[in-house]
Amino acid sequence: MQRRSLLVAGLSALGLPAWAHHGWSSFDQQRPLYLEGRAAKVLWRNPHGEIELELPARLTLPADLPQRQLPKQSADVDGPALLARTQLPTRADKRWEIELAPLTRLEAWGVAEIKPGTELAVIGFTFPGEKGEAVLRAEYLFLGGKVYGMRSSPA
């Protein structure tokens, strides 16, 4: 047991990239954010898919965003209200870690494995006050002309 603890501590000291899992309660669900860009790095594994998203030099909200049709999820999500509240982040990070749904849920939605270089957009939530890491928990994924829910399975 002591040997295992030393190994974990040693690996942590190496500064290996930390892709942490965050539960929904960690995020400010009253302030949805919009991000778009290119997938710079993709980890297609459980506990959920993860994307390192590289944002464009100038991020803007799409003019049609409030009118977009969102798919029904099995969880109770008020999509129109969420779209009406969506805004751009205030922080200046050009790379964000995007936490998607677990792979089984991505399969249920029919999301094919995302590859580096893929253009996509997300609406989701970050930490209260945008403090800490540039992490967004995706609520909706816009990919290839389709929209996918990330909180729950298709309704």
Secondary structure (DSSP) of 98-135: EE---HHHHHHHTPPPP-TT-EEEEEEE-SGGG-SS-E
User: What's the whole-number mean pLDDT along residues 86-102?
Assistant: 96
| 143 to 20, 36, 84: CA distances (angstroms) | 24, 10, 20
pTM as predicted: 0.84
Tell me the pLDDT tens digit for each residue of 14-33: 343 444 545 556 788 999 99
| In the chain, domain spans | 20-149
For residue 138, give the nearest of 93, 105, 94 by alpha carbon: 105
Query: What is the homologous superfamily of the domain 20-149 according to CATH?
Result: Nucleic acid-binding proteins (2.40.50.140)
Question: Hey, how many other C-beta atoms are within 10 angstroms of the C-beta on 143?
Answer: 18
Q: How confident is the model at residue 13 (pLDDT cuts 50, 70, 90)?
A: very low
Q: Residue 38: its pLDDT value, please?
A: 98
By the 8 A CB rule, do 90 and 130 touch? Answer: yes
Give the model's pLDDT for residue 131. 87
Q: What pLDDT score does 23 carry?
A: 58
Average pLDDT over residues 106-112: 97
Name the β-bridge partners of 37: 120
Mean pLDDT of the chain: 87
- Half-sphere exposure of residue 13: CA atoms within 13 angstroms, side-chain side: 6
pLDDT per position as a tens digit, 43-93: 999 999 999 999 999 999 999 999 999 999 999 999 999 999 999 999 999
- 135 bridge partner residues: 97
